[in-house]
Amino acid sequence: MNDLTPTDWALTPKKSRRILLAEDDDEMRSLLVLWLRNAGFEVTACCDGIDLLEQVTEALESNRPLSYGLVITDIRMPWVTGLEILKGMRDYIGVPPVILITAFGDRATHETATRLGAAAVFDKPFDMNDLVATVNEVFESRER
């Protein structure tokens, strides 16, 4: 990571920028939440794929749009993977973009993620500033 801190590029959101985050590693989840919140985003954290699936399914089954503008999820998590969530969400109208993160990124994983419509894929370890910049780009693109 470089020398910038989250406050160096923190933004004041034009409107609520809510992120649903799923990461099964406690330390990584805490770090992601800290950086994203310091950058001005509202973050709801899920501890695994089941927790993420419950959050997503509740809205989709009741024909309500998700109240999140972006989903960030680890790919490999117990029970339900980030790729399975992405694949299941793509058939619904109005679902937010999904950014995937993984410690096991290979060419096939990246190709599958792209084919399923991932907004981006980050291989761990990654620069937090790059993630925040991509998150900003995704929200700005949606707001245009």
Inter-CA distances, 38 with 41, 110, 127, Å = 7, 28, 15
CA pair distance 117, 29, nearest whole angstrom: 23
Determine the pLDDT at residue 94: 74
CA pair distance 48, 53, nearest whole angstrom: 9
What is the distance in angstroms between the CA of the first residue and the CA of the last residue of the chain? 30
Kind and range of the H or E run holding 142: helix 128-143
Mind listing the pLDDT tens digit for each residue in 120-139? 999 999 999 999 999 999 99
- The whole-chain average pLDDT of the chain stands at 86
Query: pTM here?
Result: 0.86
What domains lie within the chain, and their CATH numbers? 16-143 (3.40.50.2300)
Percent of the chain with pLDDT over 90: 66
Determine the pLDDT at residue 18: 95
Is residue 90 over pLDDT 90? Answer: no
Mind listing the pLDDT tens digit for each residue in 24-36? 999 999 999 999 9
